[in-house]
């Protein structure tokens, strides 16, 4: 019997418009009425996740920044783990040497050293994936993303790395060059103490090796006294693998990467076809 449902957000819970469909909201509510715990497990920060969840009136706990934080539904930090400044500098050096744009996720918010470059990088990626959409509309949407992520601008990242209490939850880097992304990922994996993954075809995400969705979900379910065999997880990308591999009921989205589909017990519809709703209703019977 399923007692807990953990869902990724982007590409999973959220449709192509970045919203949660009415059908999906109804399925989540049905699960809650049956006493099932629902939470999101996302690469987003708490602020980025809540911006969407609050609009959709979904109240739930959250595994944030790929497992670097566990937050209660009220926003209380129940667990956190991040890289120290020395490790972060090693990661940054790899990105800097190839000129790849990246942002830092920290307990204080998200940092960028070049906001305009960040906006343009995301516009290029989104427009390539959705060539029929208006560029200016994409730019406006990207700017909103920067606004609602508690983004802070810093002249040099060294200011963040050399702070006495430096904690880096995650590096999020972007590039249109997929071959370069693979080469950089390989170089990063030579650094001890980190986890290298991706939540999209054009990004790299770097966190502490213990900051993974699967590790955080294991901790959360243990806290609630729920077996992982009685837990359902839904995702679409590589940063979801750690949780999909450990639960009794794993669902890949129809739009998921092939590697994700291969490890999952089930495959549901795409995020634009209410895949999460269909998965929940399948298990509820």
Q: Structural domains in the chain?
A: 4-80+211-284 (3.40.50.1000), 85-208 (3.30.1240.10)
pLDDT score of 239: 97
User: Among 69-83, 142-156, 196-210, where is mean pLDDT lowest?
Assistant: 142-156
* Long-range interactions of 224-229: CB distance < 8 A, separation 24+: 224/4, 224/37, 226/3, 226/4, 226/37, 227/3
DSSP 12: I
**What span, in angstroms and rounded, lies between the C-alpha atoms of 78 and 200?**
27
Which of 12, 43, 9 has the alpha carbon at shortest distance from 204?
43
Mean pLDDT, rounded, for 9-37 = 95
Q: Residue 255 contacts by C-beta under 8 Å, 6 or more apart in sequence?
A: 11, 236, 270, 271, 272, 275
pLDDT score of 129: 59
Mean pLDDT, rounded, for 4-21 = 93
CB 4 within 8 A of CB 36: yes
pLDDT score of 200: 86
pLDDT score of 149: 61
For residue 198, is pLDDT > 90? yes
Mean pLDDT for all residues in the chain? 93
pLDDT score of 158: 93
Mean pLDDT, rounded, for 17-37 = 95
35 confidence band (pLDDT: 50, 70, 90): very high
**What span, in angstroms and rounded, lies between the C-alpha atoms of 90 and 127?**
32
Helix intervals (H) in the chain: 22-33, 46-55, 85-98, 115-129, 135-147, 158-161, 178-188, 213-224, 241-244, 258-263, 275-284
Beta bridge pairs of residue 206:
171, 196
Mean pLDDT, rounded, for 151-178 = 92
pLDDT single digits (tens) 237-257: 999 999 999 999 999 999 999
CB 199 within 8 A of CB 257: no
What percentage of the chain reaches a pLDDT higher than 90? 79
For residue 78, is pLDDT > 70? yes
Mean pLDDT, rounded, for 145-154 = 73
Which of 4, 21, 18 has the alpha carbon at shortest distance from 275?
21
pLDDT score of 148: 63
14 confidence band (pLDDT: 50, 70, 90): very high
pLDDT score of 264: 98
pLDDT single digits (tens) 109-134: 889 998 788 787 777 766 665 667 78
Which carries the bigger pLDDT value, residue 143 or residue 236? Answer: 236
268 phi/psi in degrees, rounded to 5: -105, -170
Distances (CA, A) of 169 to 69, 80, 114, 270: 8, 8, 19, 29
CB-count exposure of residue 172 (10 Å: 0-12, 13-18, 19+): buried
**What span, in angstroms and rounded, lies between the C-alpha atoms of 92 and 157?**
9
Mean pLDDT, rounded, for 150-162 = 88
87 confidence band (pLDDT: 50, 70, 90): very high
């Amino acid at each position: 019997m399923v007692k807990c449902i953990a869902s990724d957000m982007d590409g999973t819970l959220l449709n192509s418009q970045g919203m949660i469909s009415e059908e999906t909201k109804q399925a989540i509510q049905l699960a809650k009425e049956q006493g099932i715990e629902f939470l999101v497990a996302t690469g987003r920060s708490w602020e980025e996740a809540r911006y969407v969840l609050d609009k959709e009136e979904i109240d739930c706990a959250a595994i944030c920044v790929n497992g670097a934080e566990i937050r209660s539904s009220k926003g209380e930090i129940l667990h956190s783990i991040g890289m120290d400044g020395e490790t972060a500098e090693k990661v940054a050096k790899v990105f800097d040497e190839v000129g790849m744009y990246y942002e830092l996720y920290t307990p204080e918010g998200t940092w960028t050293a070049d906001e305009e470059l960040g906006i343009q990088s995301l516009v290029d990626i989104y427009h390539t994936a959705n060539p029929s959409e208006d560029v200016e509309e994409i730019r406006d949407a990207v700017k909103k993303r920067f606004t609602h992520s508690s983004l802070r601008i810093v002249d040099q990242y060294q200011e963040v790395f050399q702070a006495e209490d430096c904690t880096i939850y995650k590096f999020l880097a972007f590039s249109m060059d997929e071959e370069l992304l693979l080469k950089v990922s390989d170089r990063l994996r030579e650094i001890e103490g980190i986890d290298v993954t991706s939540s999209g075809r054009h990004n790299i995400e770097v966190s502490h090796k213990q900051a993974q969705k699967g590790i955080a979900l294991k901790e959360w379910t243990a806290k609630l006294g729920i077996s992982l065999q009685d837990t359902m997880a839904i995702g679409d990308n590589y940063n979801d693998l750690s949780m999909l591999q450990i639960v009794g009921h794993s669902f890949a989205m129809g739009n998921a990467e092939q590697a994700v589909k291969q490890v999952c017990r089930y495959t549901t519809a795409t995020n634009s076809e209410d895949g999460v709703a269909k998965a929940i209703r399948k298990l509820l019977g």
